[in-house]
Amino acid sequence: MRIDIMTLFPDAIEAMMGQSIIGRARDRGFIRLYTHQIREYTTNKQMQVDDYPYGGGRGAVMQADPLYRCWEHVCGEVGERPYTIYMSPCGRTFTQEVAKELKAAHENILLVCGHYEGVDQRFIDECVDEELSMGDFVLTGGEIPAMAVADCLFRMEEGVLPEESCYTDESHWNGLLEYPQYSRPEQWHGRKVPAILLSGNHGGVDDWRRKESYKRTMARRPDLWARFDQSAIKTKHDKKILQQAKDEFAAQQENEE
């Protein structure tokens, strides 16, 4: 998979994305990540990329022309028009399901990072395929959202993580939150690791993890739980685990009241 990022701060993205798992995967050729400095595509000595908004108001708007020149250059490098996403609080919310959709549908993705009061709508109308938001809040620029999207997509690419379960067992993949995790020592500040995790009973561990995933989702994200398709749980054993989770969650709620 190839992801290009149009930005005013390529060094910031390179510093972050060049580290750890994503950085190693890039060095080994499992993924391709390229950053593009929008200022290099201006036509003035000041390398100006913004100007006052028509109609008045505070701040500045990124101009369509340098964005378009940069976008054209990326299209030429990729060899085709990449699926172009503008990181914007006005877009649809980015979720794991959206990530799966993008990963399945597009081999080449271009992420556009806005700044100031946003970008000229004409560039969006002509070049952008979709706008994505990280949630109901506003940041000073699109770099953090773009890195989040790139990281989420890249970690699903073959070779980036040791095996597929490294991301399919995590929060949101199946519509649930992940179960609690523990490591050494067995006891810390008087808090013990759940005995089942020390038992060597792999089936019991799997059941415990599934049950805790249900309970955590019910407690922390009732909106996710409401959308979770319980009818997909077919076997008697799995239904039993689900019922145990519901009973334990209900008992916990009663104790807290």
Q: What pLDDT, on a 0 to 100 scale, did the predictor assign at position 6?
A: 98
Identify the domain containing residue 12 by its residue range: 2-154
**What is this structure's pTM?**
0.86
Angle 143-154/10-17 helices, nearest 10 degrees?
30
Say if residue 189 is in the same domain as residue 147: no
136 assigned to a ligand binding site: yes
Residue 22 lies in a domain: yes
Indicate whether 178 and 143 sit together in one domain. Answer: no
Clarify whether residues 120 and 21 are in a common domain. Answer: yes
Tell me, what CATH number does 247's domain have?
A: 1.10.1270.20
Q: Tell me the C-alpha distance between 252 and 13, whole Å.
A: 44
For the chain, what is the domain count? Answer: 2
47 has binding-site annotation: no
Q: Is 169 annotated as a binding residue?
A: no
User: Do 224 and 144 fall within a single domain?
Assistant: no
Question: Is 80 exceeded by the pLDDT of residue 61?
Answer: yes
User: Which of 90-99, 153-162, 166-175, 208-217 shows the lowest mean pLDDT across its residues?
Assistant: 166-175
- 74 among the known binding-site residues? no
| DSSP states of 129-168 | SEEEESSSS--SBSHHHHHHHHHHHHTTSBTTBSSTHHHH
Residue 4 marked in a binding site: no
Residue 114 is assigned to a ligand binding site: yes
Residue 87 labelled as part of a binding site: no
Same domain for 30 and 125, yes or no, is: yes
Residue 168 has pLDDT above 60, yes or no: no
Instruction: Kindly state whether residues 117 and 26 are assigned to the same domain.
Output: yes
115 and 214 co-located in one domain: no
Q: Are residues 7 and 82 in the same domain?
A: yes
pLDDT in tens, 5-45: 999 999 999 999 999 999 999 999 999 999 999 999 999 88
